[in-house]
Amino acid sequence: MNKQNIVVTGAGGTLCSVIAVDFAKQGHNVVLVGRSLDKLQKVEEEIRSFGGSCVCITADVKDEARMMQVREEVHKVYGPVTILINGAGGNQPDAVTTINEFDPKELTDDRGGLRGFFNLDMKKFLDVIEINTLGTVIPSRVFALDMIEQGHGNIINFASMNTYRPLSRVPAYAIAKAGVSNFTQWLAAYLAPAGIRVNAVAPGFFVNERSKKLLTTPEGGLTSRGQHINYNTPMHRFGEAKELIGCVNWLVNDEAASFVTGITVPVDGGFLSSAGL
């Protein structure tokens, strides 16, 4: 694949940082976008260590005016963008229940630390939906303009296991990630006449900063939830960020995947193939 100008949102995160570094190792120009400059600079430092080309830009992907500014900044450094990785997203603890099913205590004042559907923080709930949905829609609107002008391009969105199954405790995240897959299909059909392919990857269970406390113990073992996930994953382990690279590289390759658009590819160790029985 010829040298491309690639924007990676959420580039300071566990998964997209590895993807961004791999793109740089292939000789592409990589734009690292995220809200935390410290996290982006760590990725930048790694890329610079082997002579790769990258630039860090802080931005809220839900802010369309700011993302248009980011586009202008990228043009000054590299020119038009040909590949967009929509990796920004995630969940928030206050939008996650502490129980798997209804408990009458959640309707009382004496619930302690119990957090159920009826006492979730709706502001945090909406924040989760917005960062995962609008955080995918807005960068697509902005950088697809470059691709339309060039007559080709690729957009890769990040879905989840929640795209296929509404996993317990994470209702806001489940709503959002189901929406990301549906939007991927819609946008793929809409942009096909412009020569732009739109696909998504759906990572299985990969341990990141947010999920570490939920899945692992301070001693390095697994929580009951972590054990349950591994039991229901035929490969009986969590994924490693580097294991997403092959799928992403295939999807953005205009020769290897030239007739592929509108799909969501699970990279899940077989999780979706197992009923747990």
CA distance 208 to 87: 13
Instruction: Find out whether 148 and 71 touch, Cβ atoms under 8 Å.
Output: no
In a domain, 101, yes or no: no
**Whether 228 and 163 share a structural domain:** no
**Whether 157 and 193 share a structural domain:** yes
pLDDT band, residue 203 (cuts 50/70/90): very high
In a domain, 61, yes or no: yes
**Whether 185 and 145 share a structural domain:** yes
**Whether 157 and 79 share a structural domain:** yes
In a domain, 167, yes or no: yes
Instruction: Find out whether 177 and 165 touch, Cβ atoms under 8 Å.
Output: no
| Three-class DSSP labels, the chain | CCCCEEEEECCCCHHHHHHHHHHHHCCCEEEEEECCHHHHHHHHHHHHHCCCEEEEEECCCCCHHHHHHHHHHHHHHCCCCCEEEECCCCCCHHHCCCCCCCCHHHHCCCCCCCCCHHHCCHHHHHHHHHHHHHHHHHHHHHHHHHHHHHCCEEEEEECCHHHCCCCCCCHHHHHHHHHHHHHHHHHHHHHHHHCEEEEEEEECCECCHHHHHHHECCCCCECHHHHHHHHCCCCCCCECHHHHHHHHHHHHCCCCCCCCCCCEEEECCCHHHCCCC
**Whether 136 and 168 share a structural domain:** yes
pLDDT band, residue 222 (cuts 50/70/90): confident
pLDDT at residue number 219? 83
pLDDT at residue number 235? 94
In a domain, 140, yes or no: yes
**Whether 9 and 136 share a structural domain:** yes
**Residues marked as catalytic:** 173
In a domain, 11, yes or no: yes
**Whether 88 and 160 share a structural domain:** yes
pLDDT band, residue 1 (cuts 50/70/90): confident
Instruction: Find out whether 134 and 115 touch, Cβ atoms under 8 Å.
Output: no
**Whether 217 and 152 share a structural domain:** no
Could you give the number of structural domains in the chain?
Answer: 2
State the CATH number of the domain containing residue 196: 3.40.50.720
% residues pLDDT > 90 (the chain): 86
**Stretch 61-82: mean pLDDT:** 98
In a domain, 115, yes or no: no
pLDDT at residue number 209? 73
**Whether 221 and 86 share a structural domain:** no
pLDDT reading at 276 higher than 80: no
**Whether 254 and 159 share a structural domain:** yes
**Whether 81 and 69 share a structural domain:** yes
pLDDT at residue number 216? 81
The answer to which of 9-23, 103-117, 133-147 has the lowest mean pLDDT is 103-117
In a domain, 116, yes or no: no
| Residue range of the domain that includes 71 | 5-93+127-204+241-268
Taking the CA atoms of residue 64, residue 75, residue 244 and residue 183 in that order, the dihedral angle to the nearest 10 degrees is: 30
In a domain, 40, yes or no: yes
pLDDT reading at 212 higher than 80: no
pLDDT band, residue 141 (cuts 50/70/90): very high
**Whether 136 and 226 share a structural domain:** no
